[in-house]
Amino acid sequence: MSTQNTGPLGADGKANNLDAYWMPFTANRQFKANPRMVVGADGMYFKLSDGRELMDGIAGLWCCNAGHNRPRIVEAIQKQAAELDYSPAFQMGHAKQFELASRLARMMPGDLNKIFFTNSGSESVETALKMAIAYHRARGEGHRTRLIGREKGYHGVNFGGMSVGGMPANRKMFGSLVTGVDHMRHTHGIEENRFSRGEPAHGVELADDLERLCDLHDPSTIAAVIVEPLAGSAGVIAPPVGYLKRLREICDRHGILLIFDEVITGFGRLGTPFAANYFDVIPDITTTAKALANGVIPMGAVFVQDKIYDAFMQGPENMVEFFHGYTFSGNPMACAAALGTLDTYEEDGLLTRGAELGGYWEDAVHSLRDLPNIIDLRNMGLIAGIELEPRPGAPTARAFDAFLKAYEAGLLIRTTGDTIALSPPLIIEKTHIDFAFETLRGIIKSLD
Ligand SMILES: Cc1ncc(COP(=O)(O)O)c(C=O)c1O
């Protein structure tokens, strides 16, 4: 185990080293043998402890959509810390919660006018699932308790989200999970869809898998269906043309709530404010987090249709209507960061920038097609998926090598399985796109 110092000594004079911190979703031993330490960030770049710059090809973790060190956000946080550091989340309020919720409600299409604050995508998902079950109960349909997710879905790491999620590695260590959950089939791997630009043409009929589950369980037992409009974590899987519309129709037919998990697609990633705009499909509940506060302060928001909120507003008025919430729901620092973020998105036109740059980005992605070991290229908005042929007997190894080589070459990418995912800050310029894809071209060529 490494005992390499990470910076200044602690106040007790002892070395701060890499041993104590158990890193999330990280190959801890590999990292601690060869640490990759970030010391600063500005615009499109991280600054590393060895003095190098690293271009951010993934907006931190799909969250810094306005890039780094944005003055509006920095200023908002600094001011807020001096003015009101914390306000109790329960039975007390502060003005920025209400301002932010009102602004968010105006941004979202349809009747998703009620906003519940959380601190992460995982918490937004748990909140949405609980709301869905409790909503049906409040309307006298307490038999609707079943939750439907999809294979290859990612909805965070808490028990509800993990259970409706469909990534085997994220589930297999954790026992029997939440009961009463089933999964539709995923939409990936359709041979005719390889090298699709935007929405793939084939696979709309996979939405009918929901009808199969309705037949099996009876729709009257199903509370909600949750899907990512575009599945990010499983490797950038865009929905087939017409798929989400069909899901919406089936949900409507059977009184099932449709939840869009927009933790990745929310706030401009697809070139529209939300995926709901892009696909012209309005869900009953939308979960968001990540780019809501530009990744600067943890924050999530669940958008809910009026009808759902209204169903809870019954009984004595001094009673809590929904027994759920977090100590840090809508905390002043996060609200200030989010308001500064929304200002920045608005001033820089970032929520639609993906549409302007989308063509250039798409051509850059598909320019890699002639390279060895590429089995698919996918894109939508400012997202790319570059799927590599796995090395025989060593799945994920080739992509992880690409990650390490890209890091050495000054580009931060993310890999999932053998897919490289790109989702840069929306402030990206064509020169950055050129750098990213020239770098990747060299790296992919060099991979054994
Ligand atoms: C679609 C989706 N839902 C939920 C989450 C979980 O978010 P968090 O890591 O903030 O808990 C993620 C994270 O990547 C995500 O992509």
Strand duo 45-48 + 38-42: pairing: antiparallel
Task: Please state, in angstroms and rounded to a whole number, the distance separating the CA atoms of residues 375 and 399.
Answer: 12
* Same domain membership, residue 399 and residue 357: yes
Domain range for 282 is 75-348
Mark which of 302, 322, 348 sits at the end of a domain: 348
CA-angle at 250, arms to 248 and 255, nearest 5°: 90
Per-residue pLDDT, 3? 46
Q: Residue type at 259?
A: I
Three-state SS annotation for 123-155: HHHHHHHHHHHHHHHHCCCCCCCEEEEECCCCC
190 falls within a domain: yes
320 falls within a domain: yes
CA of 61 to the centre of ligand 1 (A): 9
DSSP string, 385-426: EEEEPPBTTBTTHHHHHHHHHHHHHTEE-EEETTEEEE---T
Mark which of 313, 348, 383 sits at the end of a domain: 348
Can you read off the two tokens belonging to residue 400? 């992880």
* Same domain membership, residue 320 and residue 307: yes
Task: Please state, in angstroms and rounded to a whole number, the distance separating the CA atoms of residues 431 and 253.
Answer: 48
* Same domain membership, residue 122 and residue 58: no
Task: Please state, in angstroms and rounded to a whole number, the distance separating the CA atoms of residues 222 and 144.
Answer: 5
Per-residue pLDDT, 146? 98
* Same domain membership, residue 206 and residue 164: yes
* Same domain membership, residue 46 and residue 84: no
Task: Please state, in angstroms and rounded to a whole number, the distance separating the CA atoms of residues 247 and 205.
Answer: 10
Can you read off the two tokens belonging to residue 30? 């590999």
Contact 187, 240 (CB under 8 A): yes
| Residues facing residue 150 across a β-bridge | 184
* Same domain membership, residue 213 and residue 284: yes
- Which residues 6+ apart lie within 8 Å of 98 measured at CB? none
Task: Give the residue carrying structure tokens 């615009």.
Answer: 43
Q: Which residue from 23, 117, 233, 286 has its CB within 8 A of the most atoms of ligand 1, so it is best to mutate?
A: 233
* Number of neighbouring beta carbons within 10 Å of residue 368: 17
CA of 283 to the centre of ligand 1 (A): 18
What would the pLDDT profile of 433-446 be if each residue is shown by its tens digit?
A: 999 999 999 999 99
Task: Please state, in angstroms and rounded to a whole number, the distance separating the CA atoms of residues 19 and 345.
Answer: 39
Can you read off the two tokens belonging to residue 443? 């790296």
* Same domain membership, residue 47 and residue 173: no
Task: Please state, in angstroms and rounded to a whole number, the distance separating the CA atoms of residues 164 and 171.
Answer: 10
28 falls within a domain: no
* Same domain membership, residue 384 and residue 252: no
Mark which of 348, 375, 400 sits at the end of a domain: 348
Q: What is the CA radius of gyration of the chain?
A: 22
Atom 13 in ligand 1: residue holding the nearest Cα? 156
Contact 307, 111 (CB under 8 A): yes
Per-residue pLDDT, 4? 54
15 falls within a domain: no
**CATH number of residue 93's parent domain:** 3.40.640.10
Can you read off the two tokens belonging to residue 392? 């025989």
What would the pLDDT profile of 336-393 be if each residue is shown by its tens digit?
A: 999 999 999 999 999 999 999 999 999 999 999 999 999 999 999 999 999 999 999 9
Per-residue pLDDT, 1? 42
CA 299, 305, 308, 309 torsion-angle sign: positive
Per-residue pLDDT, 30? 94
* Same domain membership, residue 303 and residue 283: yes
22 falls within a domain: no
Q: Which residue from 152, 162, 290, 296 has its CB within 8 A of the most atoms of ligand 1, so it is best to mutate?
A: 290
* Same domain membership, residue 392 and residue 298: no
* Same domain membership, residue 277 and residue 132: yes
2 falls within a domain: no
Positions of the chain with pLDDT under 70: 1-11, 13, 15
Taking 3-state DSSP, the helix, strand and coil percentages for the chain, each rounded to the nearest 5, stand at 40, 15, 45
272 falls within a domain: yes
CA of 105 to the centre of ligand 1 (A): 21
Ligand 1 binding residues, C-beta < 6 A:
120-122, 125, 154-156, 228, 232-233, 261, 263-264, 289
Total number of domains constituting the chain = 2
Task: Please state, in angstroms and rounded to a whole number, the distance separating the CA atoms of residues 218 and 222.
Answer: 7
The values of phi and psi at residue 118, to 5°, are -135, -170
25 falls within a domain: no
* Same domain membership, residue 83 and residue 61: no
**CATH number of residue 45's parent domain:** 3.90.1150.10
Per-residue pLDDT, 89? 98
User: Among the atoms of ligand 1, which is closest to the Cα of residue 265?
Assistant: 1
CA 423, 429, 434, 436 torsion-angle sign: negative
Q: Which helix (H) or strand (E) holds 40?
A: strand 38-42
Can you read off the two tokens belonging to residue 6? 């990470």
Per-residue pLDDT, 5? 55
What would the pLDDT profile of 378-393 be if each residue is shown by its tens digit?
A: 999 999 999 999 999 9
Can you read off the two tokens belonging to residue 287? 């979960």
Task: Find, among 121, 127, 120, 126, the residue nearest to 328 by Cα.
Answer: 120
Per-residue pLDDT, 17? 87
Contact 267, 241 (CB under 8 A): no
